[in-house]
Chain A
Amino acid sequence: MANDNLKNKVMTAKEAVERFIKPGTHIAFGGFTILRRPMTIAREIVRQGIKDLFVTMNGGTLVEEMLAGAGLIKWLETTYLGLEGGMPVAYAIRQAIESGEIELIEDYSNWSFAQRTLAGRLGLPFMPCLGDIGSDLIEYDTFKKGGLRGKREDGEFIHPGIPPKKYEIIDDPFEGFGLRPKRFKNGEDSCVNKTNAYRDGKIKSTKYTGKEGVKVALVPPLMPEVCVVRAQRVALDGTVRIEGLIGPDLDQSLCGRILIVECERICPPEELRAVPEHNQIAAHFVHAIVEQPFGAYPSAVPNYYDYDYSWFRNYVKEVNHQPKEKVREFWEKHVKETKDDWDYLYNKVGIKKLFSLRTDPKYHYNPNLDRFN
């Protein structure tokens, strides 16, 4: 029957992790800081102890902090390691990098990284970026130093998730035609930026290429093995509707091989297909649907529940400045003692706490939430 066919994408977090996430998997987690983090899958990864992960993130760090705290990250591609809520730099990640437990870390900026995910999503060989040039992001190429960039004897890339170059800097073949502000026929540009140093003749840049020209950094696509994202609703057929801010999630969900979507509620396809332009990800892109209400806890899901700031404050209290064993212990106790996410949410967090985070339709968050006491 048609519906049986549809149901085969639906699975438990346990099944999704067992099927798609192995040690060493190149994996991207969606959401951004305290917004819509796919914690159900992340907690299940900790529960199953899947190690040596190659984690990539455009908006850390709640998920990544947990994985680092549990000792599961080997390589990291990142833009930002802050943890909102009292840790300017996420402690477990910092500890793992400084001690060397995370062996390799490749830095990008938010824009160049976003362009990478865009290239991945659009199926294009690269995307341009006008940032990162003039900085040490270009000069320090960790994967290159680690001998991971390039092709093997048999012609395959050394690692399918690592492009042969970090950046390629070119001279714009269109000689800066597209840079804003530019002069139009009937007047000056309408945009508000006022500086365009190529126009003022300020720039005669010969760096990187050795020739005079308009410098543009090309970035290769981000192409993880697995992308995980959390949406409010997913239809039985896989159609995804994200509500509120999307952040990295359109681009970062579609750039990889496998997409796992966690959701608050699986709904009938007709519900979402009635207004298809409000849907962001088409059904065929989704390989696994995991329904887990409240599963993004302690992060926020607009229109459903707010973030739990007290969780973050408590995390700082328990973990900040602690030795590695204590940090590991925190995360093991946090998750491993539970048998699945509902066990964690119901027994460790509690129904009362979860429902206290419920949102107001007008605000999309809980305006009466006392976050700081």
Chain B
Amino acid sequence: MQRLMNYIWLLNACANSLLEPNILLKEALEKTDNFTRELKGLKEEEKECLVKEIENVISYLRENRNYMESLEERLKRALFTLQEG
């Protein structure tokens, strides 16, 4: 059990670290429709900047989501091992 604690605390750090992203993501979600509605009458270069910003954020979200999905998968196997054996 003692040997396993380092990893358990690592998972704990992951879980704790999700607090701030969750707060920010929730807030961003709430405000996105409003933001989209205000995207009118922008100049070309303004649009370019915003497109790049949003594409970047999407790619960071995706990277994070990939990690999350993979981890969930692997953890399910650990669960299976625990519940079977």
Asked if chains A and B are in direct contact (CB within 8 A), the reply is yes
A residues in contact (CB < 8 Å) with B: 268, 270-271, 274-275, 351-352, 355, 358, 361
B46 within 8 A of A: yes
A355/B23 in contact, CB under 8 A: no
The 3 closest A-B pairs by CB, nearest first: A355-B49, A352-B45, A351-B49
B55 within 8 A of A: no
In the complex, what residues of B have CB within 8 A of residue A271's CB? 20, 23-24, 27
Q: Looking at the assembled complex, report how far the CB atom of B64 sits from the nearest CB atom of chain A, in whole angstroms.
A: 10
Question: How many angstroms between the C-alpha atoms of A358 and B52 in the bound complex?
Answer: 10
In the complex, what residues of B have CB within 8 A of residue A352's CB? 45, 48-49
- Nearest CB in chain A to that of B43: its residue: A351
Which bucket holds chain B's interface residue count?
A: 10 to 19
A-B contact pairs, 12 of them (CB 8 A): A268-B27, A270-B23, A271-B24, A274-B19, A274-B20, A274-B23, A275-B19, A351-B46, A351-B49, A352-B48, A355-B49, A355-B52
B residues in contact (CB < 8 Å) with A: 19-20, 23-24, 27, 45-46, 48-49, 52-53, 56, 60
B-side binding surface: helix, strand, loop or mixed?
A: helix
Question: How many angstroms between the C-alpha atoms of A352 and B50 in the bound complex?
Answer: 10
In the complex, what residues of A have CB within 8 A of residue B46's CB? 351
In the complex, what residues of B have CB within 8 A of residue A355's CB? 49, 52-53
In the complex, what residues of A have CB within 8 A of residue B56's CB? 358
In the complex, what residues of A have CB within 8 A of residue B45's CB? 351-352
B19/A361 in contact, CB under 8 A: no
Question: How many angstroms between the C-alpha atoms of A361 and B59 in the bound complex?
Answer: 12
- Nearest CB in chain A to that of B52: its residue: A355
Q: Looking at the assembled complex, report how far the CB atom of A237 sits from the nearest CB atom of chain B, in whole angstroms.
A: 16
Query: With A268-B27, A352-B45 in contact, do A358 and B20 touch (Cβ < 8 Å)?
Result: no
In the complex, what residues of B have CB within 8 A of residue A361's CB? 60
In the complex, what residues of B have CB within 8 A of residue A274's CB? 19-20, 23
Q: Looking at the assembled complex, report how far the CB atom of A153 sits from the nearest CB atom of chain B, in whole angstroms.
A: 57
Question: How many angstroms between the C-alpha atoms of A270 and B24 in the bound complex?
Answer: 10
- Nearest CB in chain B to that of A362: its residue: B60
Query: With A351-B49, A355-B53, A361-B60 in contact, do A275 and B27 touch (Cβ < 8 Å)?
Result: no
Question: How many angstroms between the C-alpha atoms of A352 and B46 in the bound complex?
Answer: 8
In the complex, what residues of A have CB within 8 A of residue B23's CB? 270-271, 274
Question: How many angstroms between the C-alpha atoms of A301 and B67 in the bound complex?
Answer: 28
Question: How many angstroms between the C-alpha atoms of A351 and B47 in the bound complex?
Answer: 10
Known: A352-B48, A358-B53; 17 extra A-B contacts, CB below 8 A, are: A268-B27, A271-B20, A271-B24, A271-B27, A274-B19, A274-B20, A274-B23, A275-B19, A351-B45, A351-B46, A351-B49, A352-B45, A352-B49, A355-B49, A355-B52, A355-B53, A358-B56
In the complex, what residues of B have CB within 8 A of residue A268's CB? 27
A275/B20 in contact, CB under 8 A: yes
In the complex, what residues of B have CB within 8 A of residue A358's CB? 53, 56
In the complex, what residues of B have CB within 8 A of residue A275's CB? 19-20
Q: Looking at the assembled complex, report how far the CB atom of A96 sits from the nearest CB atom of chain B, in whole angstroms.
A: 38
In the complex, what residues of B have CB within 8 A of residue A270's CB? 23
Q: Looking at the assembled complex, report how far the CB atom of A156 sits from the nearest CB atom of chain B, in whole angstroms.
A: 48
Question: How many angstroms between the C-alpha atoms of A274 and B73 in the bound complex?
Answer: 29
- Nearest CB in chain A to that of B56: its residue: A358
Q: Looking at the assembled complex, report how far the CB atom of A199 sits from the nearest CB atom of chain B, in whole angstroms.
A: 42
